[in-house]
Chains A and B, each alone.
Chain A
Amino acid sequence: MIFQKFLAPIALAVGLGAAAAVSAQTLTMGVRGGPESMDPHFSALGPHAEAAKHVFDTLVWSGDGLQIEPGLAESWTPIDEDTWEFKLRQGVKFHDGSDFDAEDVKFSIERIPVVTGPTTTTIYVRRVASVDIIDTHTIHINTDGQAATLPNDFIRLFIVSSEAAADYSTPETAAEGFNSGKATIGTGPYKFVSWQPKGDLVLARNDDYWRGEGAWETVIRKEIPNDSSRLAALKAGQVDVINYVSSVDYLALERDSAIDAVKGDSVYIMNLQLDQREDTPLVRAIDGSDLDDNPFRDLKVRQAIDHAIDRQTMVDIVLEGLGKPANQMMPPGFFGSSEDIPMPTYDPAKAKELLADAGYADGFEVDLYCTADRLPGDGAICQGLGQMLTQVGIKTNVNAISKTVYFPAQARLEYSMFMNGWGTLTGEASYTLGGLAHSNNPDVKLGAFNRIEYKNDEVDQLLQAGATMMDPDERRATYEEAMEKVVADKAYISLVQLQTVWGAKAGMLEFTPRFDEDTLAFFIKPAS
């Protein structure tokens, strides 16, 4: 008793974070990355959208498992080949008290191409040709051709107030208006208070929120990019919850009774990609001489690589258990993931046999490139891959490098064998297969991220057909078939699905991890 009486005021006087910062009404989140601007239309980056979701609502909401749900739009239906009708939610108010209506939706859609930054948000409205206002709460979206996945595109279409943002919708004025809060008027669960680039985002509860009132009066979103510092801030009591606990720290946290570790599946899957061009730059015979053909064009070689990889060891040893073996380019259960694809078996003897069959009994040499600083464990997986492939005779030189160097070089098609993560953020296959598995063809706007010149005519046809199918069941079957064909070709070899970990003070918070890894204050509740 005496102890408490004396110590409590001392603790406060010393400015001890633990006692001062945490009251039941304030939630302080320590997050790895942050918004680049308070203008929700400026960037399509994950952390940017995550921050924007506190202040603004989207037309279509994506739930914890990335299933699409009503957001500011209550329902949507295709009314003809190239028109979608969206019915808007009635009675929603902006933070300044004005009503939300069709004008705001049209304004937001038309504003995007003007104010977007380099991580371009035009991807959300790329299919939109024009917007017609039918009445105050009904809009028609005319698309360029059939756009079956339009509602999926709209999960990050943030709606700003057409009145408040009217003067702040040019590239020069947008940042000023939104960063100062003058135009930062949304319909979301929290009102904007202040923000510093790379610093704190301070938010106050919106008491009239249409989903109901949030649990926290004040939310502070602190950017702490360094993994160790973020964890230290949690342990010191400066923040209540952090995202992206590293796999090394996760093992230690399991034994720490003061911290709860919450593990969630991630949308990111690590894919090994094998160049399909006739001439590929970074492959040679063991003695250093040139090979006659690109070995990766031979299916047997690709199958051999698949059999040479021990996915379970990758998960258990390399990722410290924070992952799952993957057999296709999307997590199970996503729209277009096939349940008929078997998990590849680890069989180095078979791999050697296949290599010999293909005429590479002595193996060959290849330079493998991977990102080392983008996703948890990417560099370590790269090392593991190098060892496993070398064991079956493919002498692999591992280059785990910064994403700053990796992605531009990958875009210039300078690599023969490379690995990076891909996250299916929309939860459906047109996003992933359309970008990676279709041959690179600007005319049909598909295959922009196919950096191995992979081309399978059947897959191309299926993907083009799928993009215009309005019937969801038919579309799902089409994408599943395309996925099966892509996986069978083994030009893309999926290795592991990552998992992410949140840390929170023990027994203080309740929340469900989201597939897209967002940390959203509205869905975090105090433990009862």
Chain B
Amino acid sequence: MLGFVIQRFLQAVLVMAAMSVIVFCGVYAIGNPIDIVIPPEATQEIREQTIRRLGLDRPLYEQYFIFIGNLLQGDLGRSFVYNIPVLELIGGRLPATLELVLISVISATVLGVSLGIYAGYRPDSWVSKTIMAVSVLGFSVPSFWVGLILILFFAVNLGWLPAGGRGETVEIWGIGWSFPTFDGLSHIVLPAINLALFKLAMMIRLARAGTREVMLTDTVKFARAAGISEGTILWRHLLKLISIPIITVFGLELGSTLAFAVVTETIFSWPGVGKLIIDSIAVLDRPVMVAYLILVAFLFVTINFVIDLVFALIDPRVRHGAAA
């Protein structure tokens, strides 16, 4: 087990190092950030001074090693644009993204798996057919369009929910969260639906496919022959058997949504990290881009690691395979 953890850790370090080099070179290739942010009154002298002040006059490899040196001391650098430490900048916006993403991914999974199992268990009923038709919509309609329609319908026409932004927050462990307040929840509803729609569709399809397959297996036949009730079969046996792909997808979706909920965050003016990274790219704020992508790489490696552990817990075959 320890060897497994160490191997995973080394993998993570490699991925993050590669990521930092790629981002560094990529941003360097686009050009000098100074030319985007310099004001028109600036003279040639002022431009040179500013480049020197940010250390952009040094060769690329030198800039990179300074960055790595600071990183090893736990300093990810300061944003060019905001002049505050990058970690503080990202940390200040993480709770907003975290609560939005958790609410949408968890509700999409719970609802999607339930509907999917039903659709797989009774594939011929008209309810199942409706569920599947809706899931096709969830897949195929672009999410920015759905977001705008949600705003138009619920905020502008009906006036039931706010059009964007984050609601009132309360402090828990020194961090501001908006889900415990009524105002906060009313702000979360629309972006969460927008974000959840695609995942809901995917969960429905995964759960349905798994259910149809498992219902035909000998496990279920023997369970039925043994007189076990249908409810118990679904809950105790079927759910466990179909959960491996669902957990994998849940983990990956959680990660990618946390990192890249950009479209929804932009449309709903949600002050999260996805919005931050897009804005940083627009002005070539390299410290934020590099730090953020390294953190994302770290996040994915961690999530995959946790998923592997969970597999081992729920599936004895994986557990014994790993031991052998």
**B-binding residues in A (CB < 8 A):** 14-18, 36-37, 39, 42, 44-45, 117-120, 122-123, 126, 153, 171, 174-176, 179, 196-199, 222-226, 228-229, 232-233, 235-238, 373, 402-405, 407-412, 422-423, 425-426, 431, 435, 440, 442, 445-446, 448-449
Contact = CB atoms under 8 A, between A and B. Distances in A.
A118 B160 contact: no
Given A232-B163, A408-B30, 5 more contacts: A118-B34, A123-B46, A225-B266, A237-B159, A431-B40
B47 interface: yes
A182 B316 CA distance: 59
Contact of A118 (B50, B84, B89): B50
Contact of A199 (B36, B81, B182, B271): B271
Interface centre among B80, B163, B186, B282, by most A CB within 10 Å?
Answer: B163
Nearest to B32: A408
Classify chain B: how many residues form its interface, as a range.
Answer: 35 or more
A37 to B, nearest CB: 6
Interface string B29-58: 011111111111111111101100110000
A14 B186 contact: yes
Given A179-B84, A404-B30, A442-B45, A233 B35 contact: no
A448 B43 contact: yes
A440 B284 CA distance: 26
A229 B164 CA distance: 7
Contact of A404 (B152, B155, B284): B284
Nearest to B265: A226
B185 to A, nearest CB: 9
A366 B320 CA distance: 67
B36 A233 contact: no
Contacts of A223: 269
30 contacts: A17-B162, A36-B81, A37-B83, A37-B84, A117-B80, A117-B83, A118-B50, A118-B54, A120-B42, A120-B49, A123-B42, A126-B43, A174-B83, A196-B92, A198-B279, A226-B267, A226-B269, A228-B148, A229-B163, A232-B156, A233-B165, A235-B155, A236-B162, A402-B282, A408-B32, A411-B35, A423-B40, A426-B41, A435-B41, A445-B44
Contacts of A403: 36, 282
Contacts of A44: 39, 41
Interface string B51-87: 0011000000000000000000000000011111000
A402 B31 CA distance: 13
B205 interface: no
A449 B42 CA distance: 9
B25 interface: no
B82 A36 contact: yes
B283 interface: yes
B99 interface: no
Nearest to A431: B41
Given A179-B84, A407-B35, A445 B159 contact: no
B275 A15 contact: no
A206 B224 CA distance: 77
Contacts of B43: 123, 126, 442, 445-446, 448
Nearest to A14: B160
A16 B159 contact: yes
Nearest to A447: B44
B282 A404 contact: yes
Contacts of A423: 40
Contact of B39 (A17, A120, A198, A228): A120
A272 B164 CA distance: 38
Contacts of A196: 92, 271
B281 interface: yes
B291 interface: no
A422 B40 CA distance: 9
Contact of A233 (B30, B47, B163): B163
Contacts of B163: 17, 229, 232-233, 235-236, 238
Contacts of B82: 36-37, 175, 197
A378 B271 CA distance: 28
Contacts of B164: 224, 229, 232-233, 238
Contacts of B182: 15
Nearest to A235: B156
B27 to A, nearest CB: 10
A448 B44 CA distance: 6
A222 B80 CA distance: 23
B239 interface: no
B81 A222 contact: no
B276 interface: yes
B83 A18 contact: no
